[in-house]
Amino acid sequence: MAEAWLGEDYGSDRLLLLGESAFSWAGEDGEIHHPPPEHPIHLVNNAIKGTPGRFMTMLTRGITACEAPAREQALAAWAKVAFFNYVPGTVGFGPRVRPTPEKWAEASLAFPKLLATLAPQTVIVLGKDLWKHMPDADVWLTDDVQGYALPDGQTAICWAVPHPSGGLSWRRLAQVIAFAARREIILK
């Protein structure tokens, strides 16, 4: 089973960044590498170290609300959030491979357990395609803001945004995170 990144201060805001999936890649050794169960943890650790890929750079900028965050800023911001990919394992080789119907179904069945385990207050769903493949929500506010009932009686409010590789800017992501998680408005 895949492991989520869970920041040491996650309980303060209980913000979950929900990515879609991971893919396999060719390593420098020429071998095909598949994302291990702890892949989300590796991605965040690389983001904190300053060696992230484009996607994690965007997320780090979004959670810090800063274009060039210092390592300390990234560390503090990642300490307050959880990160997980909805679709488990690999979807295939390369970044343009889409999850199969079977992978979407597997993820949909596992999602309630993820919600029960992490009990997020706020979920930023990173991709409208991901959003349309998620289970029907328990609470509907708008097409892109809906909620899932948690076992403790609270509701995890999900905010669907375009995927960062599909046109979402880090500034827009920062605005959505600030408003969704803290009810703050960032005008820059």
pLDDT in tens, 112-143: 999 999 999 999 999 999 999 999 999 999 99
Taking 90 as the threshold, does the pLDDT of residue 69 lie above it? yes
User: Would 131 be classed as within a structural domain?
Assistant: yes
57 within domain boundaries: yes
pLDDT at 129: 95
Distance between CA atoms of 123 and 36, rounded to whole angstroms?
23
Confidence of residue 94 (pLDDT cuts 50, 70, 90): confident
- Can you read off the two tokens belonging to residue 159? 């905010």
User: pLDDT tens for residues 50-64?
Assistant: 887 899 999 999 999
| Number of Cβ within a 10 Å radius of residue 39 | 20
Question: Tell me, what's the pLDDT at 39?
Answer: 93
Boundaries of domain holding 147? 5-182
Q: Is residue 101 part of a domain?
A: yes
Residue 187 lies in a domain: no
Count of all residues that appear for the chain in the document: 188
**Of the spans 26-35, 44-53, 104-113, which averages the highest pLDDT?**
104-113
Q: Is residue 188 part of a domain?
A: no
Q: Residue 187: what pLDDT?
A: 58
Supply the pLDDT for residue 186: 65
- Structural domain includes residue 128: yes
Residue 138 falls inside a structural domain: yes
Task: Please tell me the total count of domains within the chain.
Answer: 1
> The domain spanning residue 21 has which CATH number?
3.40.470
